[in-house]
Each structure stands twice: as structure tokens, then as C-alpha cells.
Amino acid sequence: MIPPDHPRYRSLVIREHLADCAKKGIVSWEGLTAHGRGEAFDYLIGEKTSRSALLAERTAAALLISAHHPVISVNGNTAALASEEIAALQRASGAVVEVNLFHRTEARVTQIEDLLRDAGVEVFSGEAEKLLPLSHDRAWCRRNGIFSADVILVPLEDGDRGQALVAMNKTVIAIDLNPLSRTARTANLTIVDELTRALPQITRACGELSAAECRNLAGSVDNDYLLSEAIREMTARLSHALD
């Protein structure tokens, strides 16, 4: 048992939860490693939503609610960490939610879809085809889901697919704690924030933004600025670490 007064209680509870999900097959073992990687970057941004991340989150909301066919792509870690937050964002944005996995088996897809449905998500399911120009299993998606999206939110993405989606002229919104990753740098808009902090902020903004704010935000996306701000915050924190 993790004592609730432990200074890293929340982080330890999340790790334990992810390990349980790994034992059940929802999270891949590699997903645990990816989570550890995120933890390190979250530590460097001080484990809170920065001003620039909040701007990115509001911009993401603007892009999602202005889209013709917005899609949220969900993998194992995202489902394990934030099914309810995905459900709330779906209600606020009207986005299609589709499961897409790197370590893909039909059984795992079904298991994750069930977990999402239990949390209130309306999951876009059915026959998948190998439609994306990728050599691995993330190529598999649905013709009327991810393949047809104009705006796609990809939390915890692998860089390869991020690039493929951008090359298909989709507007790609990434949630990635590493501002140097290929995903962060190739996405049209990158939110450098932890998933369970980022999703509720996007959901809130979906309900708050006026049509004019929406146009303004969607029309002035500057990912280089957002990434450089995230990096500036990490740099400041690192350089004072030994003080």
C-alpha cells in the first residue's frame, strides 16, 4: 500500500495502476517505459500546466470544435490513464474516438474499446484496414474514422505516425511531454503537458470559447513558439537545479 502522505503519492498510485493495466494486457510493457520517460519531462516542467501549455490547450479546443471531422486517437496508455477525460472531451467536442495501437492485437483493441465504453465513450469501431503509409501496426485504422479526419488529436503518440498523418494533410494535435520528440516537432500543434491535466483543459475551453476566439486561436497556431516556451521553462528549471 502506498501511504497517502507520501510526497509522490499521486505519481506512485498512477504507476501502480499502469502496472495493473500492463498485467491485464491493456498497457503494453513498453508503455510502462514510455510512461517513465514522460515522468522525467513532467518533472522538468514542474508537474503543472504552464501558460504556454494552456494556450496550446485552448488552441486545441478551437481546432477540434472548428473541424469537419475531428478524431481522437486512443492507445493503451491513454485509455488506462484518462478514459473518463476522453469521454468528457468527446461530449464537449463531438469528436470521433478510435483506438489505434502500436502493439496491436484484436484482443487488445477489444479490451481497450470496452474500457473506454465503460467510462462513457462512444467508440468508433468495426472493420479496420491498413490505410496509413507505415510499416507497423499503427497503419491499421478505419476508413471513416482516422483515415478521413481533418483534425486529429493524438495523445502519447509515436513519431512515425505523427509524421504520416501530417503528410496526409491532417491537422495533427499532439499531447507530448517531450518538446524535442519527433511527434512534438512534426505536429501542427503540440501540448507539452501531462495527459490528465491537458484533457480537462481542452474540454473546459470547448465550452468557453466564443466563435471569435475560436477563429483567432485556430488562425494563429505557432507551434515553434509553443515548443520554445516549453523548452525555456525546462531550461530555467534545470539550470537552477543545483542552487
Contact residues toward a second copy (CB under 8 A) are 1-3, 5-8, 12, 15-16, 18-19, 22-23, 28-30, 32-41, 43-44, 135-136, 159-160, 178-180, 182, 185, 224, 227-228, 231-232, 234-235, 238-239, 241-242
Nearest Cα neighbor of 226 from 51, 16, 11, 72 is: 51
Q: How far apart are CA 15 and CA 183, in angstroms?
A: 23
Read off the DSSP letter of residue 123: B
Minimum CB distance to a second copy, residue 101 (Å) = 14
Q: How far apart are CA 52 and CA 95, in angstroms?
A: 24
Q: How far apart are CA 199 and CA 51, in angstroms?
A: 15
The C-alpha cell that represents 8 in the structure block: 509522490
Minimum CB distance to a second copy, residue 1 (Å) = 8
95/195 with CB nearer a second copy: 195
- Residues 136 and 117: beta-carbon distance below 8 Å: no
43/208 with CB nearer a second copy: 43
| CA 119 centroid distance within chain | 17
Minimum CB distance to a second copy, residue 36 (Å) = 2
Minimum CB distance to a second copy, residue 78 (Å) = 16
13/211 with CB nearer a second copy: 13
37/143 with CB nearer a second copy: 37
The C-alpha cell that represents 96 in the structure block: 470521433
Minimum CB distance to a second copy, residue 5 (Å) = 6
32/168 with CB nearer a second copy: 32
Q: How far apart are CA 70 and CA 150, in angstroms?
A: 6
Minimum CB distance to a second copy, residue 72 (Å) = 24
Query: Can you tell me which residue has the cell 467510462?
Result: 119
70/179 with CB nearer a second copy: 179
Residue 120: C-alpha distances to residues 83, 123, 143, 149 (Å): 8, 9, 23, 22
